[in-house]
Amino acid sequence: MVDLTNLQQDLINNGFTIVDEVFTCNEVKVLIDIIDNTDQSGIVFRKTDDLFAIRRFFIEVPGIYSLVFNDRLRSVIKSLFGNDYFVVKSIYFDKPGKSNWFVAWHQDLTISVDKKIDLPGYGPCTIKPNQYAVQPPITILEDNFTVRIHLDDTDEGNGALKVIPGSHLKGIYRTESIDWNTEVENVCNVKAGGVMIMRPLLMHASSRTTTNKKRRVVHIEFSRYSLPDGINWAEKASY
């Protein structure tokens, strides 16, 4: 049985937590099969030697939504966050076994919206395929959360996230301000079928792959905020 008290304390104090065995081996295989058999010719499919990514994942991969939100995942989310949140962004990341792709230390400071518009407290705005990314007021970022579903065993050798526990409590935390004399890096090893839950302001990074093992992750962002008149969430959906 999952110890929800410990998970909640992890999120409050560290900005992340890990839950094992949310998906069975068979459920993971079904998800991978559906993704592999999806038409990948659209502009939201990014393919390079180092990375395969699907933006607007739930929109572009029909039928997978109900499989992702199985009873166990729904139970964990509702137990930790209540019933007010909804999905606002979904991405699939496939880091191939020979990938040299790495991600430098950063926070997730933007949300995905349906159009570019000038609003107080929102900006700057960048354009991505079929959607726009904008930095919202920090109150939204502090309240949002992300679920990362792991389809492969993941450790530092194939690009597991590295995080700085507690960095989500420091507001906008610039990379050049990191004091490695006091900060401690934590590698988030997650087994296939497990999930990592994190706050967007948690400082995180990932290394290059060194073990020739794939790292496939479904990344889902949640919010409970209504955006100002004139813009909408790019992918708003209940779960």
We report the CATH number of the domain holding residue 41 as 2.60.120.620
- In terms of residue numbers, what domain contains 23? 4-223
pLDDT tens string, the chain, 239 residues long: the values are 567 889 999 999 999 999 999 999 999 999 999 999 887 776 667 766 656 888 899 998 988 999 999 999 999 999 999 999 999 999 999 887 766 778 999 999 999 999 888 899 998 888 877 789 999 999 999 999 999 999 999 999 999 999 999 999 999 999 999 999 999 999 999 999 999 999 999 999 998 888 889 999 999 999 999 999 989 999 999 98
Q: pTM, whole model, 2 decimals?
A: 0.94
Structure token digits, residue 235: 């992918």
Long-range contacts at 170-175 (CB < 8 A, ≥ 24 apart): 170/201, 171/138, 171/201, 172/107, 172/109, 172/138, 172/201, 173/107, 173/201, 173/203, 175/104, 175/105, 175/106, 175/203
Residue 209: inside a domain: yes
Is the residue at 62 inside a domain? yes
Assigned domain for 50 exists: yes
Q: Is 233 part of a structural domain of the chain?
A: no
Number of domains observed in the structure of the chain: 1
DSSP bridge partners of 111: 134
CB contact at 8 A, 234 and 88: yes
Yes or no: say if 126 and 110 are a contact pair by the CB < 8 Å rule. Answer: yes
Domain-located, residue 230: no
Whether 113 is covered by a domain: the verdict is yes
Distance CA 93, CA 80 (A): 25
232 inside domain: no
